[in-house]
Structure 1
């Protein structure tokens, strides 16, 4: 079930270079993401989708245009204010996981909650609950080096959920995973979708569309197509991956 708009972009543009070397990585994009929607933004490498995601999350400043999150314009915020808003309202999942190698799985997951000001006891309890939710309760005390790629990505997703974010932004979350690990991540995304978590995924992996409500195709920095989907059933999705 989708609701009011939680993430919005207007005329969003990111340019690199100048004169004959000018590149429009993102070219005047307009976007509205309703609460509770799972949106997949698809396109080939270099089409601008990761740059777009980074601007939507306040990790990168646009050359022009506006980004609004929960009714607040974030592209003009100070770095400190933007960092605070990201900490409190966004969860990020990256292709390269970005886990802290010296921390265990549970310590990686609880870190975001601790930085957001939660008590150590509450942060640890939520981290353990989230690891159980992603099927890694028995790996809580393992370091990332002792986990498979799929397990590390599930830890990263649990970490993205630890601060109870309004929106989860995922950048090529299955890019480094084999088919079995991708299946695990798709199952988890499907669970997030059914619980009403707002999720924006940029990917070139067409399998992500199986758990999306909406798919936008991106080419040369602009949107080429925007489609509302009726998601396939979980059994159909997962059987097709086996």
Structure 2
């Protein structure tokens, strides 16, 4: 990891409803994610972790607070500028894959690059390289319906990497997978970690901690525990507001 911060939030808040029905899905969160860090965000259902990820990726607008990606404050961007930033600098991986059923694996991967303005030839070359990287070069021309769950998720990861993003945000990426497929994805995340890819993963799966540098536990929209991991073992206790 380098010492630079690629993703930063200050006083990040997302509220729903009002008065007695007010829900603080994310409650004044401060967060710094250094370049090259793999961060796992865990906690019970409804604790705000997916909302936090969507805020960090510009998929939702905060009620209050600031979000910075590298040197750009993204919470004040126009919708057009934010969409362009997401296409160029953020990779998303979702629990349900979100692949286009009528497109082959390679077409799904290259689509993001084409939307970002890359030439068809360059996008296809990059897509094939990424499918090879995730072990699916021989499935490049298969439709999603012909792929296993683990294979579809690896295609989704390849797609998330197509524009060499500053950060990959993954929302419950193993939630729909069986044990064997989960292990495939975990091995891939470990490879991304080794390669220095910044990765933020929202998950219920404690096995994600095996490939994380840091684990944050959320409760009621706030951080309850923040620990760095060394050699897959907890190296620090609870941390609030920074590194130890």
Shift, 1:231, TM fit? 3.4
Query: 1:55-95, CA deviations, whole angstroms, 9 ceiling, x for partnerless residues?
Result: 00000000010100011110010000000111111000000
Question: Which residue number in structure 2 is paired with residue 27 of structure 1?
Answer: 27
Structure 1 residue 205 corresponds to structure 2 residue 205: yes
| Between 203-212 and 223-232, the greater mean CA deviation after superposition | 223-232
Shift, 1:2, TM fit? 3.0
Equivalent positions of 1:88-167 (< 5 A) are 88-167=88-167
Question: Which residue number in structure 1 is paired with residue 79 of structure 2?
Answer: 79
Q: TM-score, normalised by structure 2?
A: 0.94
Query: 1:115-148, CA deviations, whole angstroms, 9 ceiling, x for partnerless residues?
Result: 1111111110110111111111111000011111
Give the total of aligned pairs: 233
Query: 1:11-59, CA deviations, whole angstroms, 9 ceiling, x for partnerless residues?
Result: 0000011111100000000000000000001111111000000000000
Question: Which residue number in structure 1 is paired with residue 69 of structure 2?
Answer: 69
> Following TM superposition, where does structure 1 have runs of at least 4 consecutive aligned residues deviating by more than 6 angstroms?
none
Distance 1:120 1:88 in 2: 16
Distance 1:185 1:231 in 2: 19
Distance 2:225 2:124 in 1: 43
Contact map agreement 1:3 1:36 (CA 8 A) in 2 = no
Question: Counterpart of 1:55 in 2: which secondary structure?
Answer: helix
Question: Counterpart of 1:106 in 2: which secondary structure?
Answer: helix
Question: Which residue number in structure 1 is paired with residue 173 of structure 2?
Answer: 173
Gaps (5+ residues) in structure 2? 234-244
Distance 2:49 2:231 in 1: 22
Query: 1:85-121, CA deviations, whole angstroms, 9 ceiling, x for partnerless residues?
Result: 1111100000010000100000000001111111111
Question: Counterpart of 1:229 in 2: which secondary structure?
Answer: strand
Question: Counterpart of 1:156 in 2: which secondary structure?
Answer: helix
Distance 1:177 1:218 in 2: 23
Distance 1:2 1:144 in 2: 37
Distance 2:136 2:119 in 1: 23
Distance 2:214 2:12 in 1: 20
Question: Which residue number in structure 2 is paired with residue 239 of structure 1?
Answer: none
Root mean square deviation of aligned Cα: 0.9
